């Protein structure tokens, strides 16, 4: 958790923050995520027109990373076919994880994200907190095992 200082008062950042990045990628997302140092899990649940992967990393600074790509690789109105979200308590952690993901996969996630789009992912913080409480159960749900 990030500690914020206001005068002599010390407050901890307890609200998860979500970073959203958009990009174009015409190769296989499956192949790209296999290049990641952290093992991402295929997510078979959800919309049928996307390929999705996720990982919840239990650590001193835990994070939830989710990435998806349109199966047909066609571009959405915003010009993207890949969407990445990283949620943790620290914006700096989110950027670090996203940058590492880009470096390992070769996916350029530099398309400007509209504000309205960012607001759609505010609720990722609730998912992140569910993963914190029960990481194995939450990952089992994503895998379609529950």
Split at pLDDT 50, 70, 90, the class of 13 is low
CA-based nearest residue to 23, from 137, 136, 110: 110
The domain 16-143 having CATH identifier 3.30.310: the answer here is: yes
Phi-psi region of 74 (alpha: psi -120 to 50; beta: other; left: phi over 0): beta
Average pLDDT, the chain: 88
pLDDT reading at 20 higher than 90 = yes
Quickly tell me which residue has 């400007």 as its tokens. Answer: 112
CB neighbours of 49 closer than 8 A, spacing ≥ 6? Answer: 70, 71, 72
40-72, pLDDT tens digit by residue?
999 987 667 889 999 999 999 999 999 999 889
pLDDT reading at 2 higher than 50 = no
**Which residue ranges make up each domain of the chain?**
16-143
């Amino acid at each position: 958790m990030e500690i914020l200082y206001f005068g002599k008062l010390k407050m901890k950042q307890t609200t998860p923050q979500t970073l959203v990045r958009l990009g174009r990628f015409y190769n296989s997302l499956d192949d790209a995520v296999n290049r990641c140092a952290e093992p991402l899990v295929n997510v078979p649940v959800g919309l049928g027109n996307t390929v999705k992967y996720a990982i919840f990393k239990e650590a001193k600074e835990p994070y939830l990373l989710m990435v998806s790509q349109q199966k047909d690789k066609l571009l959405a109105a915003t010009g993207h076919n890949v969407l990445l979200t990283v949620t943790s308590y620290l914006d700096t952690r989110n950027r670090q994880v996203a940058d590492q993901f880009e470096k390992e996969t070769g996916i350029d996630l530099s398309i400007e994200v509209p504000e309205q789009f960012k607001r759609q992912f505010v609720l990722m913080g609730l998912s992140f907190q569910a993963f914190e409480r029960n990481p194995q159960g939450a990952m089992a749900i994503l895998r379609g095992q529950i």
